[in-house]
Structures are given as C-alpha cells and as structure tokens.
Amino acid sequence: MPKVSRLQKSRLAEELTEAFHRATGFDREIFAIRFYEYEHGQTAAGGKLNPEFPYLHMLLYIPKITRKQKQAVVAELSRSFAHELGEPEWIPVIHIAEHPFDNVGVDGKLLTDMFPVLRDKEFYYSMEDEE
C-alpha cells in the first residue's frame, strides 16, 4: 500500500484485527500483519505511473474457513481499511491462502510439532458449519 504514518498503521492494525475477529470469531492473537509500503511513483497500471487508484494487496495465510466467513472477512477488512485511512477509493485486493497446520513451518518446525495440540486438529475450528 502507499506509505502512511506510523499512527495510521497503528490504528489500521487495531481496526483490521477487530475486523478479522468480527468476521471469523477467531482469537485476535492469531491475526498478524506485515505492512509492505511503497513510495509515490512505484506503481503503474495501464502503462502509466501513479494510477488513479493505488495498488493495495492483502494476502491472508489462514486455516480453512467457510465461504460465509470468507465473504465476511473480505467485506470487514475492506470496509475497515477504507474507514481507518479515510480513503474509500483505496480498495484492496484480498487473496485468501488456506492451509492445514501441517502445511506451515515456523522456526524450522511444523506448527503441529511446535504445538502438539494442533496434531489432532485439521483446522483451527470445527468445519461442521461448512456450506
């Protein structure tokens, strides 16, 4: 996203975390953000620098969620992003990359090896409400 102030990033982090929690019901602590910002003049669209709308991209690495939760998380994150930055025309593209816990490694170990309680859990929550 375009560079914003530290205060805006702090508020955005809080707002996006709450939006994720509202949409999924998951604990806030599992939601982490890595901001990648760029300077004016570092994006182009249609062969022209500085497109009318800035390039915004969100990539969510997440346990499998239902379609209903996906709809909610996309709506909540988009709304929260525009609200907190005061830029309603800055509409993010959101990619959802789902995974079981055996597909994620941290610090040289699979999550299921780091947290044995996850070995018997294919997903973060019960999939009974799958559509």
Q: Is residue 83 part of a domain?
A: yes
Predicted confidence at residue 12, as pLDDT, reads 92
Provide long-range contacts, Cβ within 8 A and 24+ apart, for 20-27.
Answer: 20/73, 20/76, 20/77, 22/72, 22/76, 23/69, 23/72, 23/73, 23/75, 23/76, 23/77, 24/65, 24/69, 24/72, 24/73, 25/125, 26/124, 26/125
Residue 122 sits in which domain range? Answer: 6-129
Which CATH number do you get for residue 62?
3.30.429.10
Express each pLDDT in 78-104 by its tens digit: 999 888 888 877 888 999 988 887 888
Query: Which pTM value belongs to this model?
Result: 0.75
Predicted confidence at residue 44, as pLDDT, reads 82
Residue 9 has pLDDT above 90, yes or no: yes
Q: Is residue 76 part of a domain?
A: yes
The residue-averaged pLDDT of 47-74 equals 84
Predicted confidence at residue 124, as pLDDT, reads 64
The residue-averaged pLDDT of 19-41 equals 88
Domains held by the chain: number:
1
Q: Is residue 1 part of a domain?
A: no
